[in-house]
Structure 1
Amino acid sequence: MHFISLISYLIVETGPDLQIRIKYTTVLIILLISVSLKGQDPHFSQFYANALYLAPSFAGAIEENRISINYRNQWPAVSGVFNTYSFSYDRYMPNFRSGIGILATYDVAGSGDLSTTNIGLLYSYDIQLNREWHIRPGINFKFTYLGLNYGKLIWNSMITARGTTPSVYPPPFEGVADVDFAFSALAYNDRIWGGVNFDHLFKPRQSFYGDWDTHVPVKVNVFGGIQISRRGRLLNRYSEVISVAANIKYQDRFWQSDLGLYYYRDPVIFGLWYRGIPFVTSQAGDAIIGLIGIKTQNLHIGYSYDFTISNLIASTGGSHEISLVYEFITSTLGSRRRMFHAVPCPEF
């Protein structure tokens, strides 16, 4: 009620400071709405093409080196921009049974460029339980920054017959910097994998006005799958694989569930996902995702499209996603190659 009274007062009050109050209050409303929406993390449909974003346990879960670049354009038909960029590098260190990595993400939304930047350092350790099963705990310690380009916002007082004029009032806030932490665990053998990731354990602040009660909620991510069929020659990588996988997320009372199928026949991979499984999601029947990719020994290139099937079907324009993953070896592994046990999940 106090908030409604404040808005009513600003609307009916007159005077030279009215425009200033309206501007600042409008910014506050926009930020409150935006922060509420941004409480949900950016989402990638190609989970395993951005494995370090999915869980830090995947750091170093390759033969030696990996570079991953990901781009997602969500809802292009909606006014403004909703783009997410991601870059990561990770390396496996067989002498220490460990993996290290760095992950940087940049998410921008709206015409005011409300952005979230995260830069994290990752570590994982491979524990061999027996001849078949491995467990990889992982951690991600990261720096996070929330920003807004106030100069790109246009107010009615700035519009003139000659175009727009810049605002003479400085922004009433600054960007928000904080630190965050994530922990994950991954279990796998040569056919089955499954894991859980707990993100935003430090609950970083997300308020431009110093409100300590406004923070990023903890996110829990449960994922896994199985290779149900595969063919290949002995001692060579498989030339044909069919996998089933699932991914379930929970954050701030919202659930999202994905169930999908991958078919790989060297060198092409196809994928089909359904997002919004009834009773395991907050938005049943959300989207159908189609994937096509090329997988070679070192290079993986993928494209996916989210086709919206909810009541937003005519408004969003779906979502486009592109991934590029390059794996390479810089040293002679020799006998250490036998120590590496690959996670059997798809590359996209």
Structure 2
Amino acid sequence: MRIFLFFTLLTISLNSVRGQDVIFSQNFLVPETLNTSFTGALRSSKMGTVHRSQWRNSAFKTNSNFVFFDTWLEGYKTGLGVSFLNQTESASTYTFNQINFNYSMAFQISDSWYFRPSISVGYGMKNYGFQNLLLEDQININSGNIDTSTIDPLLLRTNRNFFDFSSSILFNNEDSWIGFTIKHLNKPNISLTENGNVPLDIFMSVHSNMLIPVFNNYRNDFIGMSKLFLITNFMLQGQFNRLDLGTQYVIDDRFSIGILASTSPIKNTNQSSFISSINTFAGVRLNGFRFGYSYDINTTKLLNTGGIHEFSISYDFNVNIRKLERYKCVPFF
């Protein structure tokens, strides 16, 4: 029993307490998951959601959900938004919920480039599910009864609530963008114990979506409607590091396909793999709706975990206004 509890608590500690932020594979289809400067970036109101199902064939199945709504105030050149993140783990019944309120601004810094800073204030709630564990001192060997109390210090706090502060910036023109995000500026305490202090590691990301002008000089209608982008995203949090590198092909701003390689450029151990997964994704845009699907193919030595599936849907309320080209917006599919 003690051995089982030890490994259970160790799993929770590694994956939940000092674990990394949720990283969505479709962060280039739904960039609000990546950078809060996209709040109001289309200069309209929009909403959407992403569902991520991870390791479906293993005992540690994890589901993550992200929901957002934001709008643009043209008179103030600002964007306002709210987002909600939920994550659950089947093995530990660990649950994480966080709501964020986002504020962004836009400044024109040249004839073609814009600068968009943003701030985000969040409130997080972690539940570690210790109420489902049975410890040795809760068992009365003589009577076989189960006591609900325990002297185990870890059970003194099954919930941890905290405030969280983040900030992002974004530079964009009509074709490309590059951004920087830093989360958990206040390093909130997420300790399991009542008087413990485990600060959440700061999460940093540098990301870009740059147009490669390979189809600009083609007169063929089909090729002329095609665009090719180079997409990158370097992330760092504690000892965790990851670099996503790939391409995205867009046809007539209606269809999108892409592929990414997720790598670990800074190796912490000799056993760590350089390429951890190959991520494929596709998107369709129709009358203000955007639909996306992605599948991550594991390339490490892990057992068959069922891969990672993601589904997304979002809606732009003022798509017809933007078709009139009255606004300059951040380009993304």
TM-score range, shorter chain: 0.7 to 0.9
Distance across 1 between alignment mates of 2:189 and 2:233: 27
Distance 1:280 1:36, change over 3 A: closer
Distance 1:172 1:194, change over 3 A: same
Structure 2 gaps of 5+ residues are: 140-144
Secondary structure of residue in 1 paired with 2:156: coil
The question of 1:81 aligning with 2:61 is answered: yes
Q: Counterpart in 2 of 1:214?
A: 198
The question of 1:251 aligning with 2:240 is answered: no
Secondary structure of residue in 1 paired with 2:228: strand
Q: Counterpart in 1 of 2:277?
A: 287
Q: For the Cα contact (< 8 Å) 1:49–1:325, is it kept in 2? A: no
Distance across 2 between alignment mates of 1:130 and 1:209: 52
Equivalent position amino acid for 2:307 in 1: G
Distance across 2 between alignment mates of 1:295 and 1:227: 19
Q: Counterpart in 2 of 1:199?
A: 183
Which of 161, 165, 168 is the matching residue for 1:184? 168
Equivalent position amino acid for 1:288 in 2: I
Question: Deviations 1:289-346 (Å, cap 9, x if unpaired)?
Answer: 111221124011111000001112x3322100111111112997999x63x321123x
Distance across 1 between alignment mates of 2:320 and 2:285: 23
Greater CA drift, 168-177 or 123-132: 168-177
Q: For the Cα contact (< 8 Å) 1:122–1:139, is it kept in 2? A: yes
Q: For the Cα contact (< 8 Å) 2:138–2:148, is it kept in 1? A: no
Distance across 2 between alignment mates of 1:246 and 1:136: 19
Q: Counterpart in 2 of 1:273?
A: 260
Which of 270, 274, 293 is the matching residue for 1:303? 293
Q: Counterpart in 1 of 2:14?
A: 36
Identity %: 24
TM-score by length of 1: 0.80
Distance 1:331 1:289, change over 3 A: closer
Distance 1:69 1:279, change over 3 A: same
Distance 1:211 1:308, change over 3 A: farther
Distance across 1 between alignment mates of 2:177 and 2:60: 38
Distance across 1 between alignment mates of 2:247 and 2:57: 28
Greater helix fraction, Structure 1 or Structure 2: 1
Structure 1 gaps of 5+ residues are: 1-18, 160-164
Which of 305, 313, 317 is the matching residue for 1:328? 317
Equivalent position amino acid for 1:244 in 2: L
Q: Counterpart in 1 of 2:208?
A: 224
Distance across 2 between alignment mates of 1:226 and 1:111: 40
Q: For the Cα contact (< 8 Å) 1:97–1:126, is it kept in 2? A: yes
Distance across 2 between alignment mates of 1:176 and 1:130: 45
Q: For the Cα contact (< 8 Å) 1:278–1:284, is it kept in 2? A: yes
Distance 1:174 1:157, change over 3 A: closer
